[in-house]
Structure 1
Amino acid sequence: MKRYILLILTIIATGQLFAQTANIIEPDPVTSPIHKSNLGKVVFIGDTIALEKLRQTDLLRSFEASPRNNIYMRLFLANSLTNYQHTLNPALSVEQLNKGNFQFTFYVDGKKTYQENLNKGANLPAVKNTKLTIGVPLISNREEDSWGRFLWNRFMNHGGEDALTIGTHLLKIEVRPYIDISALKVGDLIAEGELKFIVPTLNQKDVALQPIRPNSGWPVSTDVFDKKKIMEMNGMIAQNRLKDITSVIVIKNGKLLIEEYFNGSTRDSLHDPRSVSKSFTSALMGMAIRDGYIKNEDQTLHDFYDLKQYKNYSSKKDSISLKSLFTMSSVFDADDNDDSSPGNENNMYPTGNWVKFALDLRVDSTKTAGRQWRYFTAGVNVLGDILNKTVPGGLEKYADEKLFKPLNIKNYKWVYTPQHVVFTGGGLQMCSLDYAKFGQLYKNMGLWNGKQIVPQSWVKQSFSKQLTLPEDVVGKGYYGYLFWNKTYTVNNKPYETYYCTGNGGNKIFVFTNEPLVVIVMATAYNTPYAHPQVDKMMERYILPAVLQQ
């Protein structure tokens, strides 16, 4: 009888064994002691530590959130991602399985806060196919280019920030495999881990409003505003939950209302707001047209260049207007938001002549002039070259005498092209209060101290809705003459603004129906959170604090 039962159990066990799906690819072996003792776990580490040097004592049980502290996540798996995916659909090839990835689920204090199916490109096929341990940064002041940091930022932007308030929380992460061929299919749990996440009480000096010191060059406003809202914003910046912000300036009715600096920045700091300076190019063109050096924005490249001397000549190039370059709607084959575009600005910088780079580009036959908006930095540099050729003494001298001196802007730095012409596509550095002067100049419809610096008609054209912006680029909005347009909503009321914007989250906002100019300077270059966090600052803190409700 015992032999009979043993035989039955053997048959059942054998049947279960053969019922399991065999691996589709050979994974790496588990050799590390730390790996063996943490199979199926997500662990957290305070620094980059090589697997062979990692010890159990290095694994964090708690983490205090502060700008100086880093946190790295490591997955210890019992099998490779591809093999886990294979069990979901054994008919798929390795290449098809590689189109899936990990699903991450974040819990805070037992509540599901965020879930994401990680983009298929977030891990190389070699990692998916064979690796059983994967480490990435989640929070890091080293700013590694890692999917882990981007995943964490998305979690924070979609519930994490609101859940991880001041105090002690339990953060839990669950990991599952997913495939997405014809239909999404998610597998069982393959790793999980939890951590005590401490958000410390803020130091009051980091939260307190910064007094406006004398000699700002601005009259100081006595208007009342919600100081608590600005203090809340300061706290978010101090906790590094609003990242890399360097200054916030609010001008109301032409007077300085709020002046806040962060992360080592001061009143005298020169900021690099990248493409914010494109809007200065627009102002200078309007001034040059008024002064008679350029007829109007409808002039074409044919009036300034012999385009037959450049590559890929087409008669369509001759008819490209200055206006189409101002509105990012020319027919050049260029798109800075497309890495594969021939005219992408990243292809321009290594060349020896940035104007030639732009004029050598072919025409995109799918484009209709003035219809499709495609961001084109090299085209703005061409506008700068045209200005430099036509205004007396060159563009740098003209800008200083006609724009900066009337605004009493003395301390600034240009970026230069390889031909040592000022680069009008980005990088004009100033202090925050001087950027505010430019914003107030446009709020005044080009008037400053009783003098018309920029023609009023040009300001109106700049503040016009020439083209609708693609929503996948910036959300709903419009584009004028190198100025952007959008509408914020606060307490169910719309507040329209035209604004200058640049990489890193740098902004000059000029509100159309409110007496407000707002400056936000930041250094969050090439990060996914740079611009969304400024929108959050405007809608949650700055506008609610200063609007008359």
Structure 2
Amino acid sequence: MNLSSLQHTLEKSIPQLDLRSCLIRVRGEMLYKHYRNIQAETEIAKINSCTKSLISALICIAMDRGLLPEASTPISAFFPQLTSDSDPRKPAITLEQLLTMTAGFNWDEFGGQNSFPRMTRTDHWVAFAIEQRLRHEPGTHMEYNSGVSQILSSILMQHAGMSVAAFAERYLFGHLGIHDYEWEQDPQGVHTGGFGMKLLPADLLKFGQLFLQQGMWEGKRLISSELVQRSTQAFITVPPPNHGSYGWHWWVDQYEPANANENIAGSLVLENTSAEQQTPLHYYYARGFGGQYVYVVPELELVTVLTNDKRKKEKPPLDVFPRLIVPELWRLARCSGNSSGD
């Protein structure tokens, strides 16, 4: 696949967007690197909800090491008090349903009485999250919820025998060479599961590369390939305005060209293209408020990191990857599918 046209497109378009950073690595080599300034390259910054995907990775590591039970384990195994809850469905919520945000809690992420801002103003975040009533049958509906991410962080801390940050340093950060970070904690000392971490863009790129490499890093297995695949596969379709599906605290999506026709089965098909060229491009990603992203495209052996720090009034550019980068990737992959060139 010839990537020079993609480089040319990026060099013309990315600097104009005033992103904090844009890093693209293909087949282990840096294809494109942009930082707004030296501070963006050398100073840690908030990754917001990309923290969720890191927590997911740590949960997978704990499962691999036998520190956490299988994903079908009910939440009552970690919080026995739930066996006396008035709703008999609540103690049966599984670890996987927490990971996929299908626990069913009545939750409005950014507002109202049952939201993550309200949670952070309480004396016990995990208790607040668990005490919410159920609005949906567990396992049937995805409701974005930083409270369940805090529950997961608490579960990890319970079973790791150390703080979540210490666990991360021992089993993930240390191997990846991630030394410069900050991580908030709740009043009980549980590191935030859904937000609250600061990292360098280059370290986010390492994290994405680890998943692209199916959990391998410099010849050492950090996460089993089975759990890498399971955590990043589509588990449930997400409700609007979001798009695609959700896995274990990872978003999952695919790209199909807009200039396509719809066949009788309802799938998108390009005119005058082979079956291989019609195949959508699948990817998964971590996403944080304000423009923080880690995209992994296994088919192209590609990892992309985008970060931003725009204020609300400045309206940061949306969908840079799916609208600007991935169409070019799809075209290159499909048009050069039969080419032997690099």
The TM-score normalised by the length of structure 2 is 0.84
How much has 1:227 moved relative to structure 2? 3.5
1:458 maps to 2:215: no
Residue in 2 aligned with 1:343? 114
| Per-residue Cα deviation, 1:297-338 (whole angstroms, up to 9, x for no partner) | 11122111132599x64332211111111101012222326x
Name the one with the larger strand percent: 1
Check conservation: 2:3, 2:332, Cα contact below 8 A: no
Matched, 1:480 2:267: no
* Counterpart-to-counterpart distance in 1, 2:332 and 2:312: 29
Aligned-partner Cα distance in 2 for 1:223–1:305: 51
- 1:405 is matched with 174
Distance change >3 Å, CA 300–CA 525, structure 1 → 2: farther
Task: Tell me if the contact between 2:300 and 2:333 (Cα under 8 Å) persists in the aligned partners.
Answer: no
Cα distance in 1, alignment partners of residues 36 and 105 from structure 2: 40
Residue pairs, 1:199-238, within 5 angstroms = 224-237=4-17
Shift of 1:398: 1.1
8 Å CA contact retained: 2:290, 2:309: yes
User: For residues 79 and 108 of structure 2, what CA distance do their matches in structure 1 show?
Assistant: 22
CA drift of 1:544 comes to: 6.6
Residue in structure 1 matched with residue 286 of structure 2 by the alignment: 500
Partner of 2:72: 298
Cα displacement (A) at 1:529: 5.4
Residue 314 of structure 2 is aligned to residue 511 of structure 1: no
The amino acid across from 2:13 in the alignment is M
DSSP 3-state at the match of 1:323? helix
Question: In the alignment, which residue of structure 2 is the partner of 1:191?
Answer: none
Q: 538-547 or 300-309: which moved more? A: 538-547
The CA deviation string for residues 152-196 of structure 1, in whole angstroms up to 9 with x for no partner, is: xxxxxxxxxxxxxxxxxxxxxxxxxxxxxxxxxxxxxxxxxxxxx
AA matched with 1:247: S
Matched AA of 2:92? S
The DSSP-based 3-state class of the residue aligned with 2:98 is helix
Q: Give 1:318-467 correspondences, 5 Å limit.
A: 318-336=91-109, 339-340=111-112, 342-364=113-135, 367-467=136-236
Shift of 1:264: 6.0
Q: CA RMSD in A?
A: 2.6
Distance 2:13 2:328 in 1: 6
- 2:107–2:114 CA contact under 8 A, matched in 1: yes
Determine the C-alpha separation between the residues in 2 that align with 1:295 and 1:411.
Answer: 31
* 1:268 pairs with one of 42, 45, 48: 42
- 8 Å CA contact 1:230, 1:542 repeated in 2: no
Letter paired with 2:288? G
Paired residue type of 2:115: N
Map 1:8-47 onto structure 2 (within 5 A): none
SS of corresponding position for 1:517: strand
1:314 partner amino acid? D
Go from structure 1 to structure 2 and tell me whether the alpha carbon gap of 1:316 and 1:441 turns closer, same or farther (over 3 Å shift).
same
Query: Higher relative CO (CA 8 A, sep ≥ 6), structure 1 or 2?
Result: 2
By how many angstroms is 1:540 displaced? Answer: 6.1
**After superposition, what is the alpha-carbon deviation per residue over 1:260-294, rounded to whole angstroms, capped at 9, x for unaligned?**
00166432121212001100111111111111111
2:188 aligns to what SS in structure 1?
Answer: coil
Once residues 291 and 260 of structure 1 are traced to their aligned partners in structure 2, the CA distance between those partners, rounded to angstroms, is 37
8 Å Cα contact 1:246-1:261 kept in structure 2: yes
Offset of residue 424 of structure 1: 1.2
Q: Deviations over 1:410-445 (max 9, x none)?
A: 111112112222111112211111101110100011
Contact 1:276 1:426 in 2 (8 A): yes
Give me the whole-angstrom Cα distance separating, in 2, the residues matched to 1:538 and 1:228: 11
Q: Secondary structure at the match of 2:148?
A: helix
SS in structure 2 at match of 1:258: strand
CA distance in structure 1 between the aligned counterparts of 2:123 and 2:86, rounded to whole angstroms: 20
| Partner Cα separation in structure 1 for residue 60 and residue 41 of structure 2 | 30
CA deviation map 1:105-155 (0-9, x unaligned): xxxxxxxxxxxxxxxxxxxxxxxxxxxxxxxxxxxxxxxxxxxxxxxxxxx
Q: Distance in 2 between matches of 1:263 and 1:541?
A: 26
1:535 to 305, 308, 322: 322
Change (3 A) 1:407 1:322: same
- What are structure 1's unaligned runs of at least 5 residues? 1-221, 239-244
Shift of 1:526: 5.3
* Separation of aligned partners in 1, 2:335 and 2:42: 31
Task: Give, as a single letter, the amino acid of the residue that structure 2 aligns with 1:336.
Answer: E
Measured in 1, the distance between the counterparts of 2:86 and 2:129 equals 12
For the Cα contact (< 8 Å) 1:416–1:423, is it kept in 2? yes
Structure richer in helix, relative to its length: 2
The CA distance in 2 between the partners of 1:541 and 1:326, in whole Å, is 32
The structural deviation recorded for 1:405 is 0.6
Q: 1:308 to 1:461 in 2, by over 3 A?
A: closer
* Unpaired segments ≥5 residues, structure 2: 260-269, 271-277, 337-342
User: Do the aligned partners of residues 524 and 313 (structure 1) sit closer, same or farther apart at CA in structure 2, a change above 3 Å counting?
Assistant: farther
Percent same amino acid among aligned pairs? 24
CA offset at residue 234 of structure 1? 3.3
Decide whether aligned partners of structure 1 residues 548 and 431 sit closer, same or farther in structure 2, where only a CA change above 3 A counts: farther
- How far apart are the structure 1 equivalents of 2:26 and 2:143? 34
CA distance in 2, matches of 1:398, 1:319: 27
| Preserved CA contact (<8 Å) 1:246 1:265 | no
Separation in structure 2 between the aligned mates of residue 347 and residue 446 of structure 1, nearest angstrom: 36
How many angstroms does 1:459 deviate by? 0.7
Residue 482 (structure 1) shift:
0.7
Which residue pairs with 1:168 in the alignment? Answer: none
**TM-score using structure 1 length:** 0.53
Taking the aligned partners of 1:448 and 1:503, their CA distance within structure 2 comes to 28
Contact 2:76 2:83 in 1 (8 A): no
Compute the displacement of 1:223 (Å): 6.5
User: Residue 329 of structure 1: SS of its match in structure 2?
Assistant: coil
Shift of 1:489: 3.9
Distance, in Å, in 1 between the alignment partners of 2:219 and 2:38 is: 36
Alpha-carbon distance in structure 2 between the residues aligned to 1:449 and 1:547 = 31
| Letter paired with 1:319 | A
Q: 1:301 to 1:234 in 2, by over 3 A?
A: closer
